[in-house]
Amino acid sequence: MARKAQHSKEELRAMALAAAREIVAAEGAAGLSTRKVAARMGYAAGTLYLVFRNLDDLVLQLNAATLEALDAHLAEALARLPAGAGPRQRLLTLAHAYYLFAQEHFHLWSLVFEHHLPEGETMPESLAARVRALLGRVEAELAHLGAGAALAARVLWSGVHGIAVLALTDNLAATGPVDAPALVDSLVNRYLDGFAAARRNQS
Q: What is the pLDDT of residues 18-35, one digit of tens each?
A: 999 999 999 999 999 999
**Are both 26 and 113 inside the same structural domain?**
no
pLDDT score, position 4? 47
130 and 80 part of one domain: yes
Residues 120, 164, single domain; the answer is yes
Q: What is the mean pLDDT of residues 191-199?
A: 84
If asked whether residues 8 and 100 sit together in one domain, one would say no
| CA atoms 16, 19, 25, 29: torsion sign | negative
DSSP one-letter code for 6: G
| Shared-domain flag, residues 112 and 127 | yes
Same domain, 35 and 88: no
Question: Which structural domain, as residue segments, surrounds residue 24?
Answer: 1-52
Q: Are residues 84 and 180 in the same domain?
A: yes
Report the domain count for the chain: 2
Taking the C-alpha atoms of residue 160 and residue 180, their distance in angstroms, rounded to an integer, is 10
d(CA 128, CA 41): 29
Q: How far apart are the first and last CA of the chain?
A: 70
Among 57-61, 107-111, 135-139, 146-150, the minimum mean pLDDT is found in 146-150
* pLDDT tens track for 80-91: 999 999 999 999
Number of C-beta neighbours around residue 137 at 10 A? 19
With bands split at pLDDT 50, 70 and 90, how would you rate the model's confidence at 147?
A: low
Give the pLDDT score at 203: 64
Mean pLDDT calculated for residue range 111-128: 87
> What is d(CA 102, CA 51) in angstroms, rounded to the nearest whole number?
28
Residue with the bigger pLDDT between 3 and 12: it is 12
pLDDT higher than 80, residue 198:
no
Cα gap 94→100, rounded to integer Å: 10
Inter-residue contact 42 to 2 (CB < 8 Å): yes
Residue 71 has pLDDT above 60, yes or no: yes
CB-side neighbour CA atoms (13 Å) of 84: 0
